[in-house]
Chain A
Amino acid sequence: MSNILEANKVVKQYGDYTALNEVSLTVPKGSIYGLLGPNGAGKTSLIRIINQITMPDSGEIILDGEKLNPSHVHSIGYMPEERGLYKTMKVGEQCLYLAQLKGLTKVEAKRELDYWFDRLEIQGWWNKKVQELSKGMAQKVQFVVTVLHKPKLLILDEPFSGFDPVNANLIKDEIIELNKQGTSVIFSTHRMESVEEMCDYIALIHKSNKLIEGKLTDVKKQFRTNNYEVGILSDNIEGLMYDLSQKFTLSQTDFKSLNDELKLEINLGNATPNELLQTLVQRGQVTHFMEKIPSVNDIFIKTVTE
């Protein structure tokens, strides 16, 4: 079984409004899967269905080879976007309670809590009430609660909101560490840089439909424009420009560099990168030559605005 999660033609309607229109997803085991989409696209609806908070109107969810059933709540760790803790309850008691709701015994929960509190260096918080903690501190506790029962699948909705950069990094490292140990992660976010950095698979949901899904590199290939960024020092700029415009489409561009060179963005058309290089080398000193890979952000904006 190579997929931790499969969604088959999931439909969810609220009254006349269709939140999910036959959405199918495949999340490979051991992946970090980015679920992207603008606000109101249907991400949260889908995540709630996976967590069995709501039921799909039609379609099915397969978790680790089995049709989704109530016992699966123990295999999933979910950190919702709208999250919180009981304000007047003590941190330790609260974690024990939430862990037991996830199927752990009190002893197991205590052991796991000791491990995580040690690891995140928050041992001193056990008897504090949540209302005494800062927002960032509460988020750490929230994270512990989410991963305490060693879920097979971790679903994180905007996991980094509310964290300062130091703690965000800490949590990011913990997520990557858990992933290395075999936990599959689905995370839904608007922060494209973290998607770029962490995800190996992405899916894009827009207006209740899934538009893109696949391995991040494959998706990027699909959106490849064959544009190259070029920097060149040349005595004969006019000649160079003439040569290039015969074969390629050009535009001026800008990137950071130490030289005062000519900076161009060149579309290869049907030519190969080597043909471009040959043209360039004849006319001057090449200081920069790079394929312009579309960022997730570009893909997101391009798909959503189309």
Chain B
Amino acid sequence: MSKLNLIIKREFVAKVRNKSFIVMTFLSPLLFVGIAVFVGYLSTMKADQKTIAIHDESGLFIKEFKSDDEYKYVDFSLVDTKILKDSIVNESYEGLLVIPKVTNNDSLQKKIQYISNNSPNASFVEKIENKIAKVITAQNFKSANLDTIAYKNAEAKVEIGLAKASGEEALKGINEVKIVIGGAFGYLIMMFIVIYGNMVMRSVIEEKVSRIIEVIISSVKPFQLMMGKIIGTSLAGVLQFLIWAIIAFVLYFGATMIFGVPMNNKVPNLTAEQVAMANTFNLETLQLYLNEIPLVLMGVCFVFYFIGGYFLYSSFYASIGAAVDNETDSQQFLLPIIMPLILGVYIGFFTVINDPHGTVATVFSMIPLTSPIVMMMRIPFGVPLWQIGVSLALLFATFLLVVWFAAKIYRVGILMYGKKPTWKELYKWSKY
């Protein structure tokens, strides 16, 4: 067995046997499901109903305010506003809406007031404004002698049909689906880099702290040790993902077996049409949506970007581990590594979704430090193959350069103990 294989095997076994690995692998899916269930449960809970006092002097508007689950409207038109204001201070009501009586509707708008100790949320304000506007609009129609029914009939409703130049029909909301799928892949790459990059770094520090490093590198080349570490750790990560995938698969099929079939039988109240609609959405629509996304290309690219990105970053992590004596000292050097990763995710979620082929998105999907994340998010929107090619070529060229440089720092760093090095010293090491 070659030395590199031996090192890979040892690193892999050491990671996989670690208690925290086992706990993480089997606990985090549970945790994930648990959190999902908990969030679902929370969202079904209703917010407390708030009471709003309304002082409507003209009595024209109060009819529009019908209490619902969220807000209870109470008519206090007969009570003096001053007393009402005091009771708000005592917090008997959430807020007080005062609509004075005026002859001219134009001047009314500025006089309506909502008084509350808590600043109201925007949707609530909009809701009240709409209600008042509706009444005023109706009055305006009336005073101008317009036929409201005729107006309503004349109002046109437009829904644009979306299509591609190739002639196929485009699906609505497909962009959202694309960004979710692209984002999931990009995010997965980032998480993997951060978690397993850190593991590589810790493992390097462990060898330094336990002082076994000099024993090892009297048998193997530091470069072999570094690569073995990076590969071995990544294999442990791949195993973890595989286990998660299998768990998800089993859970999904287990769930459909247990809940899926009997659930349809239990809801006979649904009309045939509704059932048909639900089914079409579940299967055919999903199929349509998935057809829109270049899944095979994504799969292939994921593998390449994953390997390139992970190796690139974990070389950084390895050289940082070599440069410091303990994890606390590593923070200073970690920041510049985390920044481009976070930048990648932000660009993905803010720029790519708005303009997947704009300058910013394109440039960052070429820069090797962000390309694994940004390009993965762009691919569902259709990226020319040459761009993917250039981006991958840049990524792997940078990877080779960084590994070469990291190995130099690693080689010197692993034998240095004592004070935390400065950036300048790291640069000097690379020339030894």
Binding site for B on A (CB under 8 A): 14-15, 48, 51-53, 70, 73, 76, 78-80, 82-89, 97-98, 100-102, 142, 145
Contact A51 B218 (CB under 8 A): yes
A-B contact pairs, 12 of them (CB 8 A): A53-B214, A53-B415, A82-B214, A83-B212, A83-B214, A83-B215, A84-B215, A86-B14, A87-B210, A98-B216, A100-B6, A101-B6
- Given known contacts A14-B432, A97-B6, A101-B3, A85 and B212 CB-to-CB distance under 8 angstroms: yes
Is B172 part of the contact surface with A, judged by Cβ < 8 Å?
no
Give the 3 A-B residue pairs with the shortest CB-CB distance, closest first.
A84-B211, A101-B219, A80-B214
Contact B211 A83 (CB under 8 A): yes
Give CA–CA (A142, B214) in the complex, Å. Answer: 12
Residue with the highest number of chain A CB atoms closer than 10 Å, among B6, B214, B428:
B214
Give CA–CA (A48, B415) in the complex, Å. Answer: 10
Contact B215 A80 (CB under 8 A): yes
Specify which chain A residues have a CB less than 8 angstroms from the CB of B219 in the assembled complex: 73, 98, 101-102
Specify which chain B residues have a CB less than 8 angstroms from the CB of A14 in the assembled complex: 432
Q: For B220, give the chain A residue with the smallest CB separation.
A: A101
Specify which chain B residues have a CB less than 8 angstroms from the CB of A78 in the assembled complex: 214-215, 218
Specify which chain A residues have a CB less than 8 angstroms from the CB of B221 in the assembled complex: 70
Contact A15 B6 (CB under 8 A): no
Give CA–CA (A236, B7) in the complex, Å. Answer: 79
Q: For B19, give the chain A residue with the smallest CB separation.
A: A88
Contact B210 A84 (CB under 8 A): yes
Q: Residues 193-213 of chain B: 1 if any A CB is under 8 Å from the residue's CB, otherwise 0? A: 000000000000011001110
Q: Residues 318-332 of chain B: 1 if any A CB is under 8 Å from the residue's CB, otherwise 0? A: 000000000000000
Contact B215 A98 (CB under 8 A): yes
Specify which chain A residues have a CB less than 8 angstroms from the CB of B432 in the assembled complex: 14-15
Using A79-B215, A82-B211, A83-B215 as known contacts, list a sample of 5 further A-B pairs with CB atoms less than 8 Å apart, ordered by residue number in A: A70-B221, A83-B211, A83-B212, A98-B215, A101-B6
Specify which chain B residues have a CB less than 8 angstroms from the CB of A84 in the assembled complex: 210-212, 215
Contact A89 B14 (CB under 8 A): yes
Specify which chain B residues have a CB less than 8 angstroms from the CB of A52 in the assembled complex: 218
Is B270 part of the contact surface with A, judged by Cβ < 8 Å?
no
Contact B210 A85 (CB under 8 A): yes
The minimal Cβ–Cβ distance linking B286 to chain A, given in whole angstroms, is: 47
The minimal Cβ–Cβ distance linking A50 to chain B, given in whole angstroms, is: 9
The minimal Cβ–Cβ distance linking B426 to chain A, given in whole angstroms, is: 13
Specify which chain B residues have a CB less than 8 angstroms from the CB of A82 in the assembled complex: 211, 214, 417
Specify which chain A residues have a CB less than 8 angstroms from the CB of B218 in the assembled complex: 51-53, 73, 76, 78, 80
The minimal Cβ–Cβ distance linking A95 to chain B, given in whole angstroms, is: 12
Q: Residues 1-23 of chain B: 1 if any A CB is under 8 Å from the residue's CB, otherwise 0? A: 10100110010001000100000
Contact B214 A86 (CB under 8 A): no
Give CA–CA (A15, B415) in the complex, Å. Answer: 16
Is B180 part of the contact surface with A, judged by Cβ < 8 Å?
no
Tell me which residues from 200 to 258 in chain B have a Cβ below 8 Å from any Cβ of chain A: 206-207, 210-212, 214-221
Specify which chain B residues have a CB less than 8 angstroms from the CB of A76 in the assembled complex: 218
Q: For B9, give the chain A residue with the smallest CB separation.
A: A97
The minimal Cβ–Cβ distance linking A40 to chain B, given in whole angstroms, is: 13
The minimal Cβ–Cβ distance linking B224 to chain A, given in whole angstroms, is: 10
Partner of A53, one of B6, B207, B217: B217
Residue with the highest number of chain A CB atoms closer than 10 Å, among B10, B14, B428:
B10
Contact A86 B217 (CB under 8 A): no
Contact A88 B14 (CB under 8 A): yes
The minimal Cβ–Cβ distance linking A37 to chain B, given in whole angstroms, is: 19
- Given known contacts A53-B217, A73-B219, A86 and B1 CB-to-CB distance under 8 angstroms: no
Q: For B411, give the chain A residue with the smallest CB separation.
A: A54
Give CA–CA (A146, B157) in the complex, Å. Answer: 85
Specify which chain A residues have a CB less than 8 angstroms from the CB of B7 in the assembled complex: 101
Give CA–CA (A233, B206) in the complex, Å. Answer: 66
Give CA–CA (A102, B206) in the complex, Å. Answer: 21
Give CA–CA (A48, B416) in the complex, Å. Answer: 13
The minimal Cβ–Cβ distance linking B210 to chain A, given in whole angstroms, is: 4
Give CA–CA (A298, B7) in the complex, Å. Answer: 47
Specify which chain A residues have a CB less than 8 angstroms from the CB of B14 in the assembled complex: 86, 88-89
Partner of B215, one of A70, A87, A89, A145: A145
Q: For A100, give the chain B residue with the smallest CB separation.
A: B6
Residue with the highest number of chain A CB atoms closer than 10 Å, among B210, B218, B432:
B218
The minimal Cβ–Cβ distance linking A195 to chain B, given in whole angstroms, is: 23
The minimal Cβ–Cβ distance linking B409 to chain A, given in whole angstroms, is: 14
Give CA–CA (A76, B218) in the complex, Å. Answer: 9
Give CA–CA (A154, B18) in the complex, Å. Answer: 35
Specify which chain A residues have a CB less than 8 angstroms from the CB of B1 in the assembled complex: 100
